[in-house]
Amino acid sequence: EVQVVESGGGSAQVGGSLRLSCTASGLSTGVFDMGWYRQTPTNECELVSSIDTDGAIYYVDSVEGRFTISQDIAKDTHYLSMNSLKVEDTAVYYCAISELGFPKKYPRCSIGRALDGWGQGTPVTVSA
């Protein structure tokens, strides 16, 4: 059974930084894509960033240049470094693991539990 544990959420001011971590167990990270979704206060669930097994990286336009996804395969952990935070980055962030890639959006993040691995969600609040 795949288990996913997230950490690193919290509060920051506009322009600040946070780093999210996601550690998976019960799988071999070399054959799974890793990603992050977020559920905004308006209830949209969007793919924020992902990295696939070939190292190809995706960022949603709104975080391009500010967020960086990375992974430590030896630790079965991947990270989302978030810099130059904006109020609109406020959301609950979910770590996701998939053997077959990620949809760009879900109507709601609870649907993401159907993926191979899904975290419990970590809140990020950015204030002015």
Q: Give, for all 128 residues of the chain, the pLDDT tens digit.
A: 788 999 999 999 999 999 999 998 887 555 789 999 999 878 789 999 999 988 899 999 999 999 999 988 888 889 999 999 999 999 999 999 998 899 999 988 999 999 999 999 999 999 99
What pLDDT score does 28 carry?
A: 59
| 38: nearest Cα among 73, 100, 99, 85 | 85
What pLDDT score does 30 carry?
A: 55
| 22: nearest Cα among 98, 85, 84 | 98
What pLDDT score does 27 carry?
A: 74
